[in-house]
């Protein structure tokens, strides 16, 4: 480093510190925006790193399979043995036996206090298992592999979170021989079924208790066939090979480890993605403000710049003086934002560590947030450096004589534009409009480039606060049940995990048909078909029932009639089929050719479902009943009463079913919505205040002229407020329109790539909130900023304004 360069560093730092102190208000607002940008970027990246570490840690402890196939009913063990012997890519495999209980068969009690309750409100499929040997372990809170003794049970984290069940409580199972009690010794984490989108959960018991429960009856046996592969990347090919073998058990969903990871990380990952998106928008807002502030600073200090250039100071040195200030501000913001992000990340990842493992601290823990902060610093400083290139274009004569940053050609063009504007802006045409209002409109038109910052910022803010809210209202709306492969109804009844499921179906049907409070009762049977796939015959779960009435919404085509089938979006993509195409389905050795009638969206059962018209009264693995209730009845009351009458079925209002299924996702959207609203409104007030502070400083001569020709301080203030509110309103309206159109398409595309079964999302907005309250909040934020900044005008010394 040369002596000249070493001498410049103290000069740059001294100038930066002096300017930061001199212009406290403007610099404070800029630093706050930069801190928020750095804070959110660092927090989002740290949450993603912690989430990946937690899920990865649980995967390392639990060792989930690379491919699994769930199955209800009888199966051929010899076929499984033969398949494993033929495939060298299998490193290890096992069959997990499970006993499935309906939630209303489970109850809990806390002996010390007498507290207790049942699990009848839960939609979870409760699968009692023993600890596996080799892989796919259920692990405790310390990452250890518990082995319960006879009479002991380890409950899933979901029980603890939903019902408060913990160590020392007693879990009672209603079996065919009567109640069977187990002492809760702790909770276990399940790498397979941790996510809220997964409707099943596993309960860990000893081998002895498992055998006794099995002998006692009252449970439906089920298995999971699990495989560890020598190459995890070959899970999809392995799945195709498994499903092409007709002798293997397939009465249930098949899942790969990649799908498990996606489902596990989706809910909590949404918060992190939202943080990063908010941060990116704030970075854009910060950059827009920096461009505005730097441009204004160059115009205000153009004579000083001209003087420095006149005495021979290089352009690079002059730019360095200004760049040092913004570099220091950005560095401070990144340091403060990074420190705050540490505390925020610890808070946001509490639920992650409860469901998964404690994320290990490694190099990535420090490197990821540092890279995120470095990216913010580099982007901001690069933009500043780019704007400061204007210093090279400043001509000494124009700067010293005219106080202009423009060269002669630019000055001439501006003069011509102003002349045209003067000719078009006569006040004589302002019939019915006050002179002050007319002047405000004319000023906005003449100085549109200077005022563009406000509508752009409010456009971005409107998008920022609207998209998460629209997503939340969409997922919480009762109509969203149509995205779950079910019609929009009041009541749902599930019959499964029964030895005599067909007899139970008839009993439930008789009870429901005899209830006068129920209308439009429909019965659907879950049946497993097979069809030709890319690698041979593959399983195809189908829901058979009457689709002639109200049903799911179809993105293409319509409901199936006789001889037709409707496919979920993922299945249509999986089999490369569209509306009007023919496909062959097989069940019990009989093949049938059916036509694809429509394509719908479904986020349940891995999104791979189908629907056929017809009636199945026996041989199904499960039955689903749906109905509406009369206006005089409450779905909650009817569900509670039917639950007591039908102990062998699970009855719940459809809204409760949705809330439990989508709890993780809606919680994430709710957090993102609140976060976006708080930061968006705060930034809007900051930006309005920052812009007006600089604008009012620059417009003092103009206000002085208005005051001199007779305009009162109140009239001048009214003009400023009108211009600000107009700019805010334009940006807000454009932002709402963008969020409802392009924003909807953008979010839908992101969800489609996530592979959840949603291919075409349509927002179901809360109209009063999004299109009335939010615009009023943004207008209020803009008005608050302008009121704060114009409050001192009335008492100001107007004679000083004409001096600049």
Mean pLDDT lowest among 36-45, 390-399, 447-456: 390-399
Rounded mean pLDDT of 78-86? 92
Mean pLDDT lowest among 74-88, 122-136, 368-382, 494-508: 494-508
3-state secondary structure string across 345-368: HHHHCHHHHHHCCCCCCCHHHHHH
pLDDT, residue 665, reads: 74
With beta carbons less than 8 A apart as the criterion, state whether 464 and 736 touch.
no
pLDDT, residue 448, reads: 65
Render pLDDT for 693-707 as a digit per residue (tens, 0 to 9).
877 777 777 777 777
Question: Residue 518 pLDDT > 80, yes or no?
Answer: yes
Give the residue from 587, 598, 619, 775 showing the smallest Cα distance to 684. Answer: 775
Rounded mean pLDDT of 9-20? 60
DSSP 8-class letter at 17:
H
DSSP 8-class letter at 149:
P
Mean pLDDT lowest among 216-220, 605-609, 744-748: 605-609
Rounded mean pLDDT of 28-43? 84
Render pLDDT for 365-403 as a digit per residue (tens, 0 to 9).
899 999 999 999 998 889 888 888 877 777 766 656 655
Question: Residue 472 pLDDT > 70, yes or no?
Answer: yes
pLDDT, residue 802, reads: 59
Strands (E), 193-247: 200-205, 220-229
**Integer Cα distance of 423 and 21 in angstroms:** 44
φ/ψ (deg, to 5) at 649: -125, 165
Mean pLDDT lowest among 333-337, 521-525, 548-552, 740-744: 548-552
Question: Residue 432 pLDDT > 50, yes or no?
Answer: no
Question: Residue 447 pLDDT > 90, yes or no?
Answer: no
**Integer Cα distance of 484 and 661 in angstroms:** 10
**Integer Cα distance of 569 and 578 in angstroms:** 10
Q: What percent of the chain has pLDDT over 90?
A: 24
Going by pLDDT thresholds of 50, 70 and 90, the confidence category of residue 269 is low
Q: What percent of the chain has pLDDT over 70?
A: 85
Mean pLDDT lowest among 122-131, 212-221, 265-274, 779-788: 265-274
Mean pLDDT lowest among 395-409, 668-682, 683-697: 395-409
392: how many CB neighbours lie within 10 A of its CB?
12
DSSP 8-class letter at 148:
P
Q: Which residue has the higher pLDDT, 13 or 775?
A: 775
**Integer Cα distance of 752 and 754 in angstroms:** 5
pLDDT, residue 40, reads: 83
pLDDT, residue 149, reads: 94
Average pLDDT, the chain: 82
| Most trustworthy range by pLDDT among 83-87, 409-413, 793-797 | 83-87
Render pLDDT for 521-575 as a digit per residue (tens, 0 to 9).
999 998 888 888 776 777 788 999 988 877 788 888 989 998 999 998 888 988 8
pLDDT, residue 197, reads: 63
In terms of DSSP H, where are the helices of 363-434?
Answer: 363-387, 390-393, 396-397, 408-424
Q: Which residue has the higher pLDDT, 600 or 25?
A: 600
Element (H, E) at 108: strand 106-110
Rounded mean pLDDT of 30-45? 85
Question: Residue 16 pLDDT > 60, yes or no?
Answer: no
The model's pTM: 0.76
Question: Residue 299 pLDDT > 80, yes or no?
Answer: no
**Is the Cα torsion angle 796, 798, 799, 804 positive or negative in sign?**
positive
Rounded mean pLDDT of 579-597? 90
pLDDT, residue 420, reads: 56
Termini Cα distance of the chain:
42
């Amino acid at each position: 480093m040369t002596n000249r360069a070493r001498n410049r560093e103290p000069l740059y730092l001294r100038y930066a510190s002096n300017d930061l102190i001199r212009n406290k208000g403007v610099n404070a607002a800029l630093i706050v925006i930069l801190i928020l940008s750095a804070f959110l970027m660092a927090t989002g990246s740290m949450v993603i790193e912690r989430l990946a570490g937690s899920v990865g840690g649980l995967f390392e402890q639990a060792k989930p399979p690379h491919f699994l196939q769930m199955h209800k009913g009888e199966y051929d063990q010899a076929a499984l043995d033969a398949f494993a012997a033929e495939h060298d890519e299998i490193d290890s495999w096992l069959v997990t036996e499970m006993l499935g209980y309906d939630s209303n068969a489970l109850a809990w009690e806390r002996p010390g206090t007498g507290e207790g309750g049942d699990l009848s409100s839960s939609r979870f499929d409760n699968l009692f298992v023993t600890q596996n040997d080799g892989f796919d372990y259920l692990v405790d809170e310390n990452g250890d592999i518990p082995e319960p003794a006879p009479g002991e049970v380890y409950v899933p984290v979901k029980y603890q979170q939903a019902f408060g069940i913990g160590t020392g409580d007693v879990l009672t199972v209603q079996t065919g021989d009567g109640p069977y009690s187990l002492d809760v010794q702790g909770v276990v984490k399940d790498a397979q079924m941790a996510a809220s989108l997964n409707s099943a959960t596993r309960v860990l018991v000893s081998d002895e208790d498992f055998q006794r429960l099995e002998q006692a009856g009252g449970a439906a046996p089920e298995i999971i066939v699990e495989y560890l592969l020598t190459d995890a990347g070959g899970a999809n090919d392995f799945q195709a090979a498994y499903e092409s073998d007709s002798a293997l058990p397939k009465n249930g969903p098949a899942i790969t480890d990649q799908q498990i990871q996606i489902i596990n990380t989706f809910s909590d990952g949404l918060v992190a993605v939202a943080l990063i998106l908010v941060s990116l928008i704030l970075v854009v807002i910060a950059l827009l403000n920096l461009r505005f502030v730097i441009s204004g600073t160059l115009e205000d200090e153009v004579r000083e710049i001209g003087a420095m250039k006149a005495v021979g100071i290089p352009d690079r040195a002059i730019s360095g003086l200004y760049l040092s200030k913004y570099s220091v501000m950005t560095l401070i913001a990144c340091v403060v934002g990074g420190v705050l992000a540490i505390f925020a990340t610890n808070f946001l990842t509490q639920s992650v560590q409860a469901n998964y493992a404690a994320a290990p601290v490694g190099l990535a823990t420090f490197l990821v947030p540092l890279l995120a902060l470095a990216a913010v610093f580099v982007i901001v400083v690069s933009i500043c450096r780019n704007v400061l290139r204007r210093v090279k274009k400043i001509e000494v004569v124009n700067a010293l004589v005219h106080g202009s940053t423009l060269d002669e050609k630019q000055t001439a063009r501006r003069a011509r534009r102003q002349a045209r504007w003067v000719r078009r802006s006569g006040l004589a045409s302002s019939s019915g409009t006050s002179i002050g209002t007319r002047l405000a409109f004319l000023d906005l038109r003449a100085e549109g480039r200077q005022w563009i910052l406000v509508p752009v910022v409010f456009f971005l803010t409107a998008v920022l606060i609207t998209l998460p809210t629209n997503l939340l209202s969409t997922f919480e709306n009762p109509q969203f049940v149509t995205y779950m492969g079910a019609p929009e109804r009041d009541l749902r009844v599930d019959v499964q995990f029964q030895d005599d499921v067909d007899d139970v179906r008839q009993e439930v049907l008789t009870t429901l048909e005899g209830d006068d409070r129920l209308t439009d009762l429909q019965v659907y049977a879950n049946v497993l078909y097979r069809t030709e796939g890319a690698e041979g015959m593959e399983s195809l779960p189908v829901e058979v029932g009457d689709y002639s009435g109200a049903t799911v919404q179809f993105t293409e085509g319509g409901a199936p009639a006789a001889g037709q089938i409707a496919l979920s979006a993922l299945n249509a993509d999986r089999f490369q089929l569209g509306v009007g195409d023919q496909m062959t389905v097989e069940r019990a050795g009989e093949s049938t050719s059916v036509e694809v009638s429509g394509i719908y969206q479904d986020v349940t059962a891995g999104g791979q479902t189908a629907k056929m018209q017809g009636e199945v009264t026996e041989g199904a693995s499960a039955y689903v009943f749906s109905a509406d209730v009369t206006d005089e009845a409450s779905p909650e009351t009817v569900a509670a009463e039917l639950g007591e009458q039908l102990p062998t079925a699970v009855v719940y209002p459809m809204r409760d079913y949705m809330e439990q299924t989508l709890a993780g996702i809606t919680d994430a959207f709710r957090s993102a919505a609140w976060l976006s609203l708080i930061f968006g409104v705060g930034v809007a007030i900051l930006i309005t205040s920052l812009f007006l502070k600089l604008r009012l400083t620059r417009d003092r001569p103009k206000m002085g002229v208005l005051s001199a020709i007779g305009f009162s301080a109140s009239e001048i203030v009214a003009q400023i407020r009108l211009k600000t509110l107009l700019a805010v309103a334009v940006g807000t309206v454009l932002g709402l329109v963008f969020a409802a159109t392009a924003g909807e398409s953008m979010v839908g595309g992101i969800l489609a790539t996530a592979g959840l079964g949603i291919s075409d999302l349509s927002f179901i907005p809360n109209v009063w909130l999004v299109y009335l309250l939010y615009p009023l909040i943004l207008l209020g934020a803009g008005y608050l900023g302008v009121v704060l900044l114009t409050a001192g005008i009335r008492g100001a010394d107007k004679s000083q304004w004409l001096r600049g």
